Amino acid sequence: MTTSEASTGVAPGFVDDDGNSSIVIISGANLLLTPSDIQSAAPLISNSKVVLCQLEITVESTLEALKLAKKHGGTFGVTNSLESSPMRSAI
């Protein structure tokens, strides 16, 4: 998908002198992706063996992708931030 409504998202990471890290998230066009857009990609997702999500799009869109993967027997991967999320039980 492409859009002229927003620039691409970026997330630069930084580490200070003490080793503390942080990430600045500028979501950009990632936030424009909707569950409807995910449904439009259902044929691709349903034929995928693995779907990996990193919460770089909205939670609703991520959840839609993971539910589609599960429905069609695919394996889905999530980042550590999702492992302990209440959203996990909704998949």
pLDDT at 2: 85
Predicted model pTM: 0.70
Residue 84 is predicted with a pLDDT of 54
Contact, 29 vs 6, CB < 8 A?
yes
50 and 75 Cβ atoms separated by less than 8 Å: yes
Q: CA separation (Å) from 52 to 9, 18, 72?
A: 17, 32, 15
55-79 pLDDT, tens digit per residue, is: 788 889 988 998 888 888 876 666 5
